[in-house]
Amino acid sequence: MTLPTLLVLDADPPPRLGRLTGRARVLHTDDEGLAALLPEADVLLVWDFRSRAVRDAWPGKGPRPAWVHTASAGVDHLMCPELAASGTVVTNARGVFDQPVAEYVAALVLAAAKDLPRTVEFQRNRVWRHRETRRVAGTRACVVGSGPIGRAVAATLKALGVTPALVGRVPRTGVHGPADLDRLIARADWVIAAAPLTDRTRGMFDAHRFGVMQPSAVFVNVGRGELVDEPALAEALRRRWIAGAALDVFTTEPLPADSPLWDLPGLLVSPHMSGDTAGWRDELGAQFVELYERWAAGRGLVNVVDKKRGYVPGH
């Protein structure tokens, strides 16, 4: 019996795929070798979810994998017109990052409300400075992105006494539509970006949106860097149109050392780590193995991405 060929676009450390021994012919590649090996693959595992090599290699000659899985929630790094138009099934890591990201957002909200960054700074400089801080309970949040991550963020903030409003692509019970966004962010204390990157969401947080927000509002982005017009955010912080911001994702990653974002007043920078808790890579590997077993048995895959929309529908 000929084993299916599984091609892994690697990152360090590589995935643990021991359960697939004897059940798949596993090949490993980096960005440079991907194009040459794609025609051999029945399945492609994009373990290096920061790589954009799939977008470059996919339009080449030869057959293409029947199934592509990315070890990430977003799929913008691999989608290209040729892949979107193909019969290839694309799945993502939906479900792995929901609660970790929600906890991270809650930590950022609490840190901003309780002025923890300045407390650390004052301690480092041996300064005793009493201040008053904000109460979190009773505040409002606008969570943009109604998928599993956005819903987990809303539920976690609600547990802190925050009143959350979810905004999604299509209005439905419990979810506001895009037409309500300006109205909701205008009265929100916390504006959380957790949307997928699509043509509709790219650059959605621009000078207009930051101008609509309250001067006391804090903006948090745990979605994709390209959701934000970064120069517009920088201007909003310098002019104190908003009270502060926390970015875990950026248009360019890693964030260059000479980026002006590092020195902006009121901006907390973190290196795309909001969903990465201890053992997260093992969870991603185990999720893929379970999906592979479904695929090999001829059962329907879950976490199937709508390639035109750029996310898993139904949320």
pLDDT, mean of residues 231-244: 98
DSSP the chain: -PPPEEEEE--SSPP--GGGTTT-EEEEE-HHHHHHHGGG-SEEEE--TT--HHHHHTTSSS---SEEEESSS--TTT--HHHHHSS-EEE--TTSSHHHHHHHHHHHHHHHHTTHHHHHHHHHTT----------TT-EEEEE--SHHHHHHHHHHHHTT-EEEEE-SS-BTTBB-GGGHHHHHHT-SEEEE-PPP-TTTTT-B-HHHHHHS-TT-EEEE-S-GGGB-HHHHHHHHHTTSSSEEEES--SSSSPPTT-GGGG-TTEEE--S-TT--TTHHHHHHHHHHHHHHHHHTTPPPSSB-BTTTTB-S--
pLDDT at 315: 53
Residues 141-168 have pLDDT tens digits of 999 999 999 999 999 999 999 999 999 9
Residues that are catalytic: 224, 253, 272
pTM for the whole structure: 0.95
Question: Considering the chain, what is the average pLDDT of its residues?
Answer: 97
Residues 197-210 have pLDDT tens digits of 999 999 999 999 99
